[in-house]
Amino acid sequence: MSVFDRLNPVGQKIDMPRARFAIGEVVRHRIFDFRGVVFDVDPAFANSDEWYEAIPEAIRPAKEQPYYHLLAENAETTYVAYVSQQNLIVDESNEPVDHPAIGTMFDRMEGGRYRLRPVHRH
């Protein structure tokens, strides 16, 4: 019997939260004034405990939900953000995101979503 079989007997359902946002989708933070393009998704929190504990407890999101890696921008700068699903909404502006790394991962924006470059598709 494999380790996987002992951890997950046949027929046992595994609860995995579903990602609401896809690679290339433009999203906006619910609380803070920034938006970005999704370039990766973790099915649950996968950052350091130090990073997590730095979030004020009153607004700290649950770990058991998808977390998104974003090429983000605000009025002052661009950066990479790591955001919980509960804190994101669809950005309906249809405006491009002005992040210098977009061209390395995505071809162009179509219908409010960026197309992943063929070299990055699986």
Please give the tally of structural domains in the chain.
Answer: 1
What average pLDDT does the segment 69-78 reach? 98
Domain contains 47: yes
Which domain CATH number covers 51? 2.30.30.390
- pLDDT tens-place string over residues 88-115: 999 999 999 999 999 999 998 988 899 9
Query: What pLDDT score does 44 carry?
Result: 95
Domain contains 7: no
Tell me the pTM.
0.83
- Cα separation, 118 vs 95, whole angstroms: 23
- Cα separation, 73 vs 84, whole angstroms: 17
Name residue 46's amino acid: A
| Domain, as residue range, for 40 | 17-120
Q: Which range among 11-15, 29-33, 39-43 shows the weakest confidence by mean pLDDT?
A: 11-15
Residues in the chain: 122
Domain contains 82: yes
Domain contains 11: no
Domain contains 8: no
Do 3 and 94 contact (CB within 8 A), yes or no? no
Residue 112 vs residue 78, higher pLDDT: 78
Query: CA nearest 35: which of 85, 7, 10, 70?
Result: 70
